[in-house]
Structure 1
């Protein structure tokens, strides 16, 4: 028969092991929670740079207009370079579509476009960018907000060849409101004037249309998604 002292020692050892296991489990869970939080907050841009999305102000529809009007006062740049694998093209943003211009500048400065690709190519019509199937893009959209941009079409800026215009969601198109995230460049040589009034032109490619044309020539699948992903890095210049 084992002595009471032996049994007591054995019980102490077993309890100590259980406590260590419990602490190990708790620590492991805490570590996993910390990692999960980091994944939710730090989103890689094109798989290279982490961005802290927790610092981005989330916008609801009702606060969008006053926020963007104030943002426009402090962010008056009008030149944006869009770097791609095929080269760089330069966009000049027009001043009159104030909300569209400010929104585009904000997303460019936040680094949103750097997570996206040119996801639609309709040869000799448009190339469209600002979306992707990456988790980074999805998480970025969730962080930026839930809103549409009111139509700001100006007859001064029709859909000529080379203009930059805002895409829109057909199922939310109550008043021709624009998507805040997606834009397109007109590649139709004689213009796409049937888009006037339905879409808001807010800029024009002033340099590098040859780069745009290279993207426009890419082979696509049946949904007009290029077979080769073409990412972008948008840099606000001045």
Structure 2
């Protein structure tokens, strides 16, 4: 009888021990879940803290970029390609174009777009691609807005100047298509149809050797490089 009692007592201790371990395991899981939930809450808070901007239209483009420019005064951008880096300085006296360019860089619009037009001894143009992601980005940011011209008297296209592209439709006020820009290589004799008609809003301060190399790649009849030249962009200062 005594042996039977010891045996039963041992069973009780065994299951009690198992129950304690089970409870300990449950407590650990609950603590881990709480930590994970707290992390998720923090991540969610961070996401909500990101500013949300309206779609840009021709009606709100000036007040939006004016305000954005005040809060984002940077003037230097780095364009990265497989050929090397191009550093661009943006002019403060073309504030809408400067703000627009900084905005697009910070919204990562230019990433995975191309230098899609190359003309040796003339220009290289960037900001477009044949990827669906580019059109999707434009639709989200504002697919139809144009920038008012900011043409500075006496400022002409020179080696390394950066200008906004235009849509080749009736555009007597020389408004700029916001998503594409071109870097001028020369010669000055080919600027008569550019000066006074395209807004010059920056210049290349480093990397013109890269610009030269890109301008010489093989392209099709439409000046589109046979091998895509992807770019990415970031704000420097």
Shared fold, TM over 0.5: yes
1:95 corresponds to: 92
The structure with more radius of gyration: 2
Q: Distance in 2 between matches of 1:228 and 1:201?
A: 28
2:101 corresponds to: 104
Check the 8 A contact 2:83/2:213 in 1, yes or no: yes
Check the 8 A contact 2:115/2:125 in 1, yes or no: yes
Q: 1:70-219 alignment to 2 at 5 Å? A: 70-145=67-142, 146-190=144-188, 192-194=190-192, 195-219=194-218
Encode CA deviations 1:133-180: one digit per residue, 9 max, x unaligned.
001100000011121001111135310111000000011524111000
Q: Distance in 2 between matches of 1:73 and 1:191?
A: 37
* Structure 2 unmatched runs, 5+: 1-51
Encode CA deviations 1:109-152: one digit per residue, 9 max, x unaligned.
10001121011011111000000000110000001112100111
Residue 112 to residue 101, structure 1, CA distance change in 2 (3 Å): same
**TM-score, normalising length: structure 1:** 0.75
How many equivalent residue pairs? 185
**TM-score, normalising length: structure 2:** 0.75
2:58 corresponds to: 61
Q: Distance in 2 between matches of 1:82 and 1:157?
A: 24
Query: How far has the Cα of 1:192 moved from its partner?
Result: 4.4
Runs (4 or more) in structure 1 with deviation over 2 Å come to: 189-193
Check the 8 A contact 2:157/2:188 in 1, yes or no: no
Check the 8 A contact 1:130/1:182 in 2, yes or no: yes
2:222 corresponds to: 223
Check the 8 A contact 1:82/1:232 in 2, yes or no: yes
SS of 1:73's partner is: helix
